[in-house]
Amino acid sequence: MDHFLYRDGVLHAEDVTLTEIAAHVGTPFYCYSTATLTRHFRLFQEALAGLDHLVCFAIKSLSNQAVLRTLGDLGAGMDVVSGGEYRRAQAAGVPGERIVFSGVGKTRAEMAYALTHGIRQFNVESAEELRVLSDVASGLGKTAPITLRVNPDVDAKTHEKIATGRKEDKFGVPIARARDVYAEAARLPGIEVVGIDVHIGSQLTDLAPFETAFTKIADLTRELRADGHRIRRLDLGGGLGIPYTRSNETPPLPLDYGAMIRRVLGDLDVEIEIEPGRLIAGNAGILVASVLYLKQGEGRDFLILDAAMNDLIRPAMYGAHHDIVPVLEAQAATDQRPVDIVGPVCETGDTFARQRSLPPLAPGDLVAFRSAGAYGAVMASEYNTRPLIPEVLVHGDQYAVIRARPSFDEILNRDTLPSWLESPTP
């Protein structure tokens, strides 16, 4: 459920019409709903109620500081995958003891920054990284709390590019080698083992792969404890999928996910961490665009929008589906016609949908891409020198621009000419 609903024939974000926001900030823009973000975060809190737990928002899915502050104020921790994301969490006021650091390629500088400013744990992905972390921490006179991310060799049955838990994927330590690496971790200076980490992929639409992976983690917990390690925390990653089409998708609910966690891991006397991104942010955001042209092609019509693949890359990158709806609700009796919905970028890949049925639309009409909150704005680029589009946050009947559209001067001034190209003074 989200808070983007038609009222009096106009799509609203909570209590604000999208036509009003569009008139104020111009299109295209991203729009997020505070009520939806809050609701989704609380679903996870309820799902894990009674367990010692921390819900860490995977900020790579949506990293605007206003969103981080909203969730941080509700008590969320943050899962970061770079020094830049660490700084975002910090700037949003989230203390280090609620920040976990994931990622397969952490640099020494990133490790040192997090150690200096405070960190709940590093989710270490290899023996090689562990040795570097030990060196950095010892050099600073610090102790790095760590989990080892294990790769349980489980197929998440999701899109090829976002499955991360199979042995051929680059992530984590193969579970069969985990005991050896934990033994090394226990010997290394500057390292304190606190638990185990696993994340098998994103947009999972079935609980079974999670359960298979978590069962392996439960077994590993017992083995590592028998080896003498103090395993007091399990980080279970993110990955719960969302419905991208209204009609026929029913991904698992957080409550059922929580019940499964309780069943598989509940008797281990551990603290549970989870790292959801998409389920919190995905349906909490939409992208609003204007129709530029309705172009008649040979046997098909193209609806050309002012948004493009650089603003929302998921369709081009993953073949992803987004529901696209008119901001002014179509009359029930209106004939729908199939159109290809495309952007202005000079690539055929800049196609959001093919032969999608839509009511008749004219230049200037507004459309909304649903479920665009996660992996939308954060993956945008300025390809074709198209300015990054603004982000707007709605809260009841209020709204605010939380990232403004840059001016062309700001974009152009980022380039600098080398001395040999500077124009000679006459």
Q: What is the 3-state secondary structure (H, E, C) of 112-168?
A: HHHHHHCCCEEEECCHHHHHHHHHHHHHHCCCEEEEEEEECCCCCCCCHHHECCCCC
We find the least distance from the C-beta atom of residue 422 to ligand PLP, in angstroms, to be 44
The greatest distance separating any two alpha carbons of the chain, rounded to the nearest whole angstrom, comes to 80
Single out the segment in contact with ligand PLP by CB under 6 A; choices: 127-135, 182-190, 195-203, 219-227.
Answer: 195-203
- Residue 226: left if φ>0, alpha if ψ -120 to 50, beta else—which one? alpha
Cα–Cα distances (Å) from 413 to 30, 389, 410, in that order, read: 25, 18, 5
Subset of 148-167 contacting ligand PLP (CB under 6 A): none
- Residue 355: left if φ>0, alpha if ψ -120 to 50, beta else—which one? left
Single out the segment in contact with ligand PLP by CB under 6 A; choices: 1-9, 114-122, 197-205, 392-400.
Answer: 197-205
Instruction: Cite the DSSP H helix spans in 176-239.
Output: 178-187, 208-226
Helix (H, G, I), strand (E, B) or coil at 272: strand
Q: What are phi and psi of 31, to 5 degrees?
A: -135, 130
- According to the binding rule CB under 6 A, does residue 82 interact with ligand PLP? no
Subset of 287-346 contacting ligand PLP (CB under 6 A): none
* Rounded (10°) CA dihedral 108, 236, 195, 113: 20
346 has catalytic annotation: yes
Q: Which is nearer to ligand PLP, 120 or 278 (CB)?
A: 278
- According to the binding rule CB under 6 A, does residue 60 interact with ligand PLP? yes
Single out the segment in contact with ligand PLP by CB under 6 A; choices: 28-36, 232-240, 310-318, 347-355.
Answer: 232-240
- According to the binding rule CB under 6 A, does residue 58 interact with ligand PLP? yes
We find the least distance from the C-beta atom of residue 73 to ligand PLP, in angstroms, to be 21
Single out the segment in contact with ligand PLP by CB under 6 A; choices: 275-283, 305-313, 327-335, 345-353.
Answer: 275-283
The structure tokens listed for 93 are: 């006021």
Overall residue count recorded for the chain in this entry: 426
Among 152, 239, 373, 390, the residue binding ligand PLP under the rule CB under 6 A is: 239
Cα–Cα distances (Å) from 358 to 13, 23, 129, 333, 352, in that order, read: 21, 23, 51, 12, 13
We find the least distance from the C-beta atom of residue 386 to ligand PLP, in angstroms, to be 25
We find the least distance from the C-beta atom of residue 374 to ligand PLP, in angstroms, to be 6
Q: Which is nearer to ligand PLP, 151 or 221 (CB)?
A: 151
- According to the binding rule CB under 6 A, does residue 102 interact with ligand PLP? yes
Q: Which is nearer to ligand PLP, 77 or 390 (CB)?
A: 77
The structure tokens listed for 111 are: 């490790």
- Per DSSP, 343 falls in state -
- According to the binding rule CB under 6 A, does residue 202 interact with ligand PLP? yes
Among 165, 195, 258, 277, the residue binding ligand PLP under the rule CB under 6 A is: 277
Amino acid at 169: D
Number of residues that bind ligand PLP (CB under 6 A): 17
- According to the binding rule CB under 6 A, does residue 373 interact with ligand PLP? no
- According to the binding rule CB under 6 A, does residue 64 interact with ligand PLP? no
Single out the segment in contact with ligand PLP by CB under 6 A; choices: 26-34, 107-115, 135-143, 276-284.
Answer: 276-284
Q: Which is nearer to ligand PLP, 167 or 222 (CB)?
A: 167
- According to the binding rule CB under 6 A, does residue 195 interact with ligand PLP? no
**Long-range pairs of 250-253 with CB within 8 A, sequence gap ≥ 24:** 251/204, 251/205, 252/204, 252/205, 252/206, 252/207, 253/43
Closest alpha carbon to 209 in 245, 236, 234: 236
Among 33, 36, 38, 61, the residue binding ligand PLP under the rule CB under 6 A is: 61
We find the least distance from the C-beta atom of residue 395 to ligand PLP, in angstroms, to be 23
How many Cβ atoms sit within 10 Å of the Cβ of residue 346? 10
The structure tokens listed for 233 are: 């925390």
CA 299 – CA 55 distance, rounded (Å): 50
Among 237, 254, 315, 376, the residue binding ligand PLP under the rule CB under 6 A is: 237
We find the least distance from the C-beta atom of residue 282 to ligand PLP, in angstroms, to be 8
Q: Which is nearer to ligand PLP, 273 or 365 (CB)?
A: 273
Q: Which is nearer to ligand PLP, 107 or 336 (CB)?
A: 107
Q: Which residue among 5, 208, 346, 400 is the active-site one?
A: 346
- Per DSSP, 49 falls in state T
Binding site for ligand PLP (CB under 6 A): 58, 60-61, 79, 102, 199, 202-203, 237-239, 275-279, 374
Q: Among all residues, which ones are annotated catalytic? A: 346
